[in-house]
Amino acid sequence: MGIAIVQTGNQKIRYGLINKRGDLIGNTQYKKIFPFKEGLAAVQHKKRFGYIDAKGNILIEAKYSKVSSFSEGLAAVQKDGKCGYIDKNGNEIIPLTYSRCLDFDDGKAIVFNGMRKAGVINKTGEVIISPSINGLVGFSNKRGLIRAGSWNYYYITEEARFYDGYYDYAQSFEHGIAIVQKNGKWGIINHNGMPVITSKYDKIEPFQNGYAKVRINGFSGLTNLKGELIVLPEYELISYVGEGLFRVEQGDKVGYFDSMGEWIWNLQN
């Protein structure tokens, strides 16, 4: 966007925007400017919050007690102890009737009534799951993730139906799959709860760029979204370096794989 958030003042710290020439954009100095997302940034003016654009223009008046960044065109805002969602023009799309509102993800958002009772709504405000569930920590790919106690996770459908057992640990679904831990070992399940990768690894890290690191007996490998091992777990370290390339280390040797698991540069000192 060609702009940066800057801090000014010593005794009285304020925030503003500058362009590439270092010129201050706009005249208002805010108590806080949050990172830009979807073209807008939340700002704090006195004790209230609103939004500005990349030119420093106030697009949505600072009148809320709490706000979030925009996500999928909507932002959660709170006033008088209740939250709902507004669009980028400041229009109230979903009325401020909930006690807590999380960001939209894949067209759905988790909302709360009271401290613990959670449910799911869509972007028109239609209730998918009534706010009545304790421990709802995520909802994506039409599956909700429930944390029931310290080491007890399970999934529900959009109809709030329980399915396919409990896990020691679990992550929300992404790209139709989810990473789970059972009996101390890690695997990957599909939307139907069937294993894409059986629970056999010591650790599976979250997917990035369509790939996840797997560890067994202290060594790392790489799997894709289909559960196919493209790099066997034989290396001390493995990391994504960009442009579809992965760096692996074994002892004092370094090599590079492509996203098909083919050597680009064999292990060498």
Q: What is the pLDDT of residue 213?
A: 93
Minimum mean pLDDT among 108-122, 126-140, 157-171, 209-223: which range? 157-171
Joined together, the tokens standing for residue 221 give 């490998």
CB 260 within 8 A of CB 210: no
Position 132 pLDDT exceeds 90: yes
Classify the C-alpha dihedral 93-104-38-82 as positive or negative.
positive
pTM for this predicted structure: 0.80
**Around Cβ 247, how many Cβ atoms within 10 Å?**
16
In this predicted model, which residue has the larger pLDDT, 83 or 29? 83
pLDDT in tens, 228-252: 998 899 999 998 888 889 999 998 8
pLDDT in tens, 210-224: 899 999 999 999 999
Using the structure block, give the residue that is written with the tokens 């909507």: 74
Distance from C-alpha of 129 to C-alpha of 106, rounded to nearest angstrom: 15
pLDDT in tens, 32-77: 999 999 999 999 998 999 999 998 999 999 999 999 999 999 999 9
